[in-house]
Structure 1
Amino acid sequence: MNHTPPAWLQSLRRVLTSRTELAVLLLGFSSGLPLLLSSGTLQAWLTVSAVRTETIGLFALVGLPYTLKFLWAPLLDRYSLRWLGRRRSWMLLMQGAIVAILLALASAHPQEHLAVIAVLALLLASFSATQDIAIDAWRTDTLTPSERGFGAAVFVMAYRIGMIVAGSLSLVIAHHFGWPVTFSLMAALMGIGMIAALTAPEADTTHLAPRTLTAAVIEPMREFFRRPEAWLLLALMVLYKFADAFASALSTTFLLRGAGFDLDTIGLINNGVGIGVTLAGGLFGGLWMLRLGLYRALIVFGLLQAVTNLGYAALAVWPSLSLMIPVVILEHFASGLGSAAFVALLMAACDLRYSATQFALFSAIASLGRVYLGPISGYLVGAVGWAFYYEITFLSALPGLWLLWRLRPMILKMDQPRPGETAP
């Protein structure tokens, strides 16, 4: 009798015991930690140090490197410190730079060194964004098709944990022990990512690096647009999470004004339980993808993202706590499912020669919908009301699902091992 377990179960065992997935977990934390240190936590430090509100507002500009990182991503495709690998060398270099910046901030005071702090904050955001480029490229190069979905979910979970540590725990530490201790401790926690960078396995793609910087800038776009139906794939990247982002653009406002819940309830259910459920959905989605594969996961999770939006339409008509709780939980869970599959799609779409540049560009393109939905959402709600608004968000998922069906052969091919990868 043949007792060989099915292929998806064998893949599950490999993924759950993978040294690579452990590295993804640690690097996700290292990636999420500096983000709020250069934004929300920095803002809190300046506020309690009696810096003028107008000046604090200007510090929001230090976050620009996160939106512009695709401009220097080609440098990471072209150059590397070969002794540690094409991607890990950049990770460790940026992590060391982040540690140095945090230690410098620990010795600064906003009332005396405001200009210096502004420069340090900009450098912190720049080094952090560059670390993100390197980690994204490493994940894209190293994770096999069977590892991508769960790897994406683990990374997002650890990234959120890093943000919570930097945005919440750091404020508690600052309140009790002061800001120098806070920034010094955050610098020490970056050691988690440095250990991962030193020990993580990495696919050897050094021989695939572009030969010139010009090629690193031009060839990623040339390679992509030579693909059949490249424009449709770009449209899919914009539209797949569009309905999910559309629904969440005014979710807090809806729960307050449209459904009439108080801040305590929203904070506990939507912002507390909802975040945990989103992370759980991502992890479950990553594991489920081992059985479904990329294409079927995108279809199933995309449908669930769309259908759960209708729960908010029902809540607009029949507002009650007994309905709100399952609606919020299901919507956040479906969002986590879709995020795991979508990040796996972005990784699968990258050419290993240009994964730093292409992933940075793809993720920037994918964020376009979220950027412009806020202003549109407010006017649309004013015109049609909350219930019809959420019905429209459901309908807005249909173009992305149609594109998935249209691109099925391409996505099935993308889910196969690439040259140089080991089949699952």
Structure 2
Amino acid sequence: MTPARWALLGSLYITQFLALGFFFIALVAILRRERAPLESLSIISLLGLVWVVKVLWAPLVDRIRFGRLGHYRGWLILMQGGIVLTVLAIGRFDVVADFEVVFGLCLLLAVLCATQDIAADGLACRLLSRDQRGVGNGLQIAGGLLGNMLGGGVVLMLYPTIGWSGAMLVLALGVAVPLVQLLRFREPVLADGRDQVGALRTQMRRLVLVWRQPGGGRWLVLLSVYPLGIGLVYYLATPMLVDAGWSMEHVGFVMNVVGSLIGVASALAAGMLVRRVGRRRMLVAVGVAQVIALAAFLLPATGASGSWAVVGPLCLLFVTYSPVATVLCTMMMDRATPEHAATDFTAQYTVYTLVATVGGALAFQLAAVLGYPGVVMLAVAMASLAAVGASLLYQDPGTARAEPDLSAPLAVPSE
């Protein structure tokens, strides 16, 4: 991997969340400031469902090539360009008076960003060797956090000065950066015709076949358990802070800025440790770290309001949340075959996303019945189950079948 390719992957992962971060976070604040009804605000959360259902068209990304543009490179150029044009189009409408049009364009934007993510993941699976996947996925998680922080934080801070159209222009310019890099990039291709993956029906079968690899059933169980505990507490962190008497400004700063910066550092650190420590040990380590971080939340959950009683558990949560995603994504890439990279990875990541989303949705319902302490105890139990399961159930696919040699089958055009 050359520095230029690392930079390309980083900018792709940052910019896919740059615009989304703005519309998920900043748009809600802007609409509420303009006295938009709460019903308009609630519908924005539906944009997140696109990230769950994107698995349905992931096989198309693996199946369709674009001639001289390349395979994943072609998808990325089209999606990145589409995101730029859609953001510029949104800037031509009034966010309140034309809300229906703005929301429709935001839905299109979410589809474009989700498709860009599928292609970026497919490209990363092919470019990264086994030893590089930890760092690559640390970069993926860190890039998403940075993009979310820049779009949902920095651009929102600029909004009172530059206005709606100005904010859209800034977002469009940021998203356009990878286009320049993609034009200079030459995508490696799989030798011996393996890029020709057959009919779409065959490609769709990968959504099932990916779980039939050695250890696939046990891996599905782990993916279904691992994000549940931390998802329960992460979504409750904000109301806990509010109940503890924190101002909205302090909550936003800690959750979106401090949390993102800690998450970026911990994701990159975890990515570098994966190669040194090994997959299984890292999976167990982040599982144990989850248990400790979630148990610490019993302090604010039971009413402790001192600074360290609240800030300490929050920092532990931020330190743990990103490494969990980094390690799991690294293992997802291990199970993605080069010729079906986008579909295999997306199928696995969808399970992780869906479980985390369901956990967040259940958190508020469970809190109403069990209270904060009850939910935290449940989360600790789920995290403990995940840590134990990691040591008992995880099977590295590299130990069950030969690891694909990604250096041999790739024909790399000169750059």
**1:198-238, CA deviations, whole angstroms, 9 ceiling, x for partnerless residues?**
344644237334211111112x0353243234222111112
* 8 Å CA contact retained: 1:209, 1:354: no
Aligned to 1:186: 171
Tell me the TM-score normalized by structure 2: 0.86
For the pair 1:208 / 2:225, whether they are aligned, the reply is no
What are the equivalent positions in structure 2 for 1:235-254 lying under 5 Å apart? 235-254=221-240
Aligned to 1:397: 383
Distance change (3 Å), C-alpha of 1:58 and 1:391: closer
Aligned to 2:412: none
Q: Which runs of 4+ in 1 moved over 6 A?
A: none
Unaligned runs of 5+ in 1: 1-14
* 8 Å CA contact retained: 2:24, 2:152: no
Shift of 1:79: 0.6
* 8 Å CA contact retained: 1:45, 1:179: no
Distance change (3 Å), C-alpha of 1:225 and 1:265: closer
Shift of 1:406: 3.2
Q: Distance in 2 between matches of 1:282 and 1:151?
A: 10
* 8 Å CA contact retained: 1:38, 1:125: no
**1:285-344, CA deviations, whole angstroms, 9 ceiling, x for partnerless residues?**
111112112222111121111122211224545553233333322232122222211111
* 8 Å CA contact retained: 1:94, 1:130: yes
Residue type of the alignment partner of 2:313? V
* 8 Å CA contact retained: 2:222, 2:390: yes
Aligned-pair Cα RMSD in Å: 3.0
Q: Distance in 1 between matches of 2:129 and 2:320?
A: 24
Residue type of the alignment partner of 1:217? M
Aligned to 2:263: 278
Q: Distance in 1 between matches of 2:353 and 2:198?
A: 30
* 8 Å CA contact retained: 1:312, 1:390: yes
**1:98-145, CA deviations, whole angstroms, 9 ceiling, x for partnerless residues?**
112222223333566555434322222221111111111111221111
For the pair 1:262 / 2:249, whether they are aligned, the reply is no
Identity %: 22
Distance change (3 Å), C-alpha of 1:41 and 1:305: same
Aligned to 2:159: 174
1:210 alignment partner, SS class: coil
Distance change (3 Å), C-alpha of 1:414 and 1:252: farther
Aligned to 1:221: 207
Distance change (3 Å), C-alpha of 1:331 and 1:48: closer
Distance change (3 Å), C-alpha of 1:322 and 1:68: closer
Q: Distance in 2 between matches of 1:121 and 1:261?
A: 34
What are the equivalent positions in structure 2 for 1:21-60 lying under 5 Å apart? 21-43=6-28, 53-55=38-40, 57-58=42-43, 60=45
Distance change (3 Å), C-alpha of 1:114 and 1:310: closer
Unaligned runs of 5+ in 2: 410-415
Counterpart among 153, 156, 163 of residue 141 in structure 2 = 156
Shift of 1:268: 4.8
Counterpart among 299, 306, 309 of residue 284 in structure 2 = 299
Aligned to 2:111: 126
Distance change (3 Å), C-alpha of 1:310 and 1:414: farther
For the pair 1:137 / 2:117, whether they are aligned, the reply is no
Q: Distance in 2 between matches of 1:298 and 1:277?
A: 20
Q: Distance in 2 between matches of 1:154 and 1:392?
A: 31
**1:140-181, CA deviations, whole angstroms, 9 ceiling, x for partnerless residues?**
221111111111122222222222232233333332122222
Q: Distance in 2 between matches of 1:351 and 1:131?
A: 19
* 8 Å CA contact retained: 1:20, 1:201: no
Distance change (3 Å), C-alpha of 1:210 and 1:383: same
Distance change (3 Å), C-alpha of 1:325 and 1:117: closer
* 8 Å CA contact retained: 1:102, 1:187: yes
What are the equivalent positions in structure 2 for 1:329-408 lying under 5 Å apart? 329-378=315-364, 380-381=366-367, 384-408=370-394
